[in-house]
Amino acid sequence: MGVVSPYLSDDEVVSCLRQEFDRDEQYSVDFQYWLSTARVVREGVLVDVMSRKFLLDYHTGAVIREVTGDYGCGGCKV
């Protein structure tokens, strides 16, 4: 059980997030640190990684999309 979801380990979520970054950043970014920014929203879990935000599926940890703006997920509620 991890920070983002009781269904996933943190390592599984980090693996999904790493795929969204270029090869140079994949292992230089401290994804474990950024998991502490996770918050549940209507559409899933929103995680900030540096200056980027990602919407993750709560059950699979898969990245649904990168979001922009305040929340960027269609008016989701925290």
Residue whose token pair is 């509620």:
77
Q: Per the domain annotation, does 54 fall within a domain?
A: yes
31-69 pLDDT tens trace: 999 999 999 998 999 999 999 999 999 988 899 999 987
Q: Per the domain annotation, does 60 fall within a domain?
A: yes
Three-state helix/strand/coil letters over the chain: CCCCCCCCCHHHHHHHHHCCCCHHHHCCCCHHHHHHHCEEECCEEEEEECCEEEEECCCCCCEEEEECCCCCCCCCCC
Q: Per the domain annotation, does 76 fall within a domain?
A: no
Q: Per the domain annotation, does 78 fall within a domain?
A: no
Q: Per the domain annotation, does 72 fall within a domain?
A: no
pLDDT at 77: 47
- The domain of 63 spans 10-67
User: Considering the chain, what is the average pLDDT of its residues?
Assistant: 86
Of 52, 60, 58, give the one whose Cα is nearest residue 72: 52
Q: Per the domain annotation, does 38 fall within a domain?
A: yes
CB atoms within 10 A of CB 58: 16
Q: Per the domain annotation, does 3 fall within a domain?
A: no
Count of domains in the chain?
A: 1
On whether the pTM is more than 0.85, the answer is no
